[in-house]
Structure 1
């Protein structure tokens, strides 16, 4: 790529696009635009108006470093340090899973349950394996009379979740705890949500480098058949669920029926499957009996 200091912004984007495309990176132009905008400290949409502007030489070292990181398959969101999810920007770190659009299915399902909780106190929401806190915080941001607790085994993830709560002005309605699932909990909740690790161990090597190298393995590997986390979580749900409560569990491809059956075996009533944008059952909804 030619020296950006002698090129217009649009040319820099085009040259970076070509480099990414040659490296086999998906969406090379989108990545190039987003990363050039990130280096310049502007929104990607503004690059159209800045296309003929010269790329400042002072930003060359930063662009070179970021280009190398993306060529090493570090995801764009990790380079930027945050990811958009359900209309909000969430800080992410090495201990947190990068939020996926498919997980918005769970948030939507949770918000559709609001009318079912007619309580004289705030609704209590529990997020098991909270990571960045994106599920719990997205729910609370749209549900002003709800309070929540998020737990995660990784202390570094809890730090990120607390930072995200502060950014969204939700610290007064959230508590984040280091815990192995429900180990430190004593209260009951009206709604329990979780996006646990569900990738089968033998499938891990087939993941994209962006996932395998940069997402925490603790948040990905679900054991030999991908169901270890559900076997740990599901038997505890009834114990921590209020009467009339509900749980929403994100699942992987072809896991919905198996997880629903596991829930039924532990005294929970299957209510619904919620499909993601591809029409795949992504969330299992169950209720206390």
Structure 2
């Protein structure tokens, strides 16, 4: 890669940023300059602002080595969140790993819908397929009297979610366990949350490489029609929900009608659907039908 257009010395902060930006741009990374700053700040253990203040400052050898490793991984389209080991969601900062999906802003629609649908601070909350714990922990952060349980098929994901709860001061009001959806649970909950795998199996290879090659397939693959997980979840909901409780499920693009039909066939009532910031119908709100045992 040519160094043309890089005025700062090769071993300086500005030189590293310029050359890394060139490589990232050539790899079709969407925000190459920003990502170069994030990676160099991480490698040097400083804030991004410090890089901008002193562009001609030398990069220490250990930081240069660390930066080179991070840059190579990003050029291979490993997600930035995995490189940094963290991701913001709602008002929280969460640890992430390849055991879990990376929390996305679209999923904040689930939290918003849940808070609107069940405004009771003392709720008992269940999060099925908890991953990082992002949905459950966001709700608990808004309801100081609530308690929640997160379940994930992967023990590593459940352990990571427990660490996130502790780091965010929510460990005393949450518990996490490994299990196959609701099969390990008994009792009823006021609110059930879930962001299940909903991508059709055949569509996964065509996803952007950051997702297809690096995020866990079990958290993406919804089976041949993308609805496999929904069938299991809605079948379990009548036994999981308190009489006045509700569930909020994340939807993929264009899935509202199909998931609503599954829910109604399981004896659940459709209470509404909330869109994300992009206008996609993202959060389906369900409740128990009147008279359901």
- Compute the TM-score of the two structures, normalised by the length of structure 2: 0.93
Aligned pairs for 1:67-146 within 5 A: 67-115=71-119, 117=120, 122-146=122-146
Partner SS, residue 111 of structure 1: helix
Deviation, 1:56, is 2.5
Is the 8 Å Cα contact of residues 10 and 16 (structure 2) preserved in structure 1? no
Partner SS, residue 83 of structure 1: strand
Is the 8 Å Cα contact of residues 82 and 96 (structure 2) preserved in structure 1? yes
Is the 8 Å Cα contact of residues 117 and 285 (structure 2) preserved in structure 1? no
Counterparts of 2:229 and 2:49, CA distance in 1: 41
- Paired position in structure 1 for 2:169: 169
Question: Once the two structures are superposed, what CA deviation does each residue of 1:71-111 show, in whole Å capped at 9, x if it has no partner?
Answer: 11111110111111112111111211111111111111122
Is the 8 Å Cα contact of residues 21 and 32 (structure 2) preserved in structure 1? yes
- Paired position in structure 2 for 1:38: 42
- Paired position in structure 1 for 2:277: 277
> Displaced runs of 4+ in structure 1, greater than 4 A?
none
Question: Once the two structures are superposed, what CA deviation does each residue of 1:108-164 show, in whole Å capped at 9, x if it has no partner?
Answer: 11222353x38xxx3100000001111101110111111100001101111101111
Q: How many residues align?
A: 285
Is the 8 Å Cα contact of residues 129 and 151 (structure 2) preserved in structure 1? yes
Partner SS, residue 87 of structure 2: strand
Mark the CA change 1:79 to 1:90 in structure 2 (over 3 Å): closer, same or farther.
Answer: same
Aligned pairs for 1:191-270 within 5 A: 191-270=191-270
Q: Which runs of no fewer than 5 residues in structure 1 stay unpaired?
A: none
- Compute the TM-score of the two structures, normalised by the length of structure 1: 0.94
Q: Which runs of no fewer than 5 residues in structure 2 stay unpaired?
A: none
CA root-mean-square deviation: 1.8
Is the 8 Å Cα contact of residues 6 and 54 (structure 1) preserved in structure 2? no
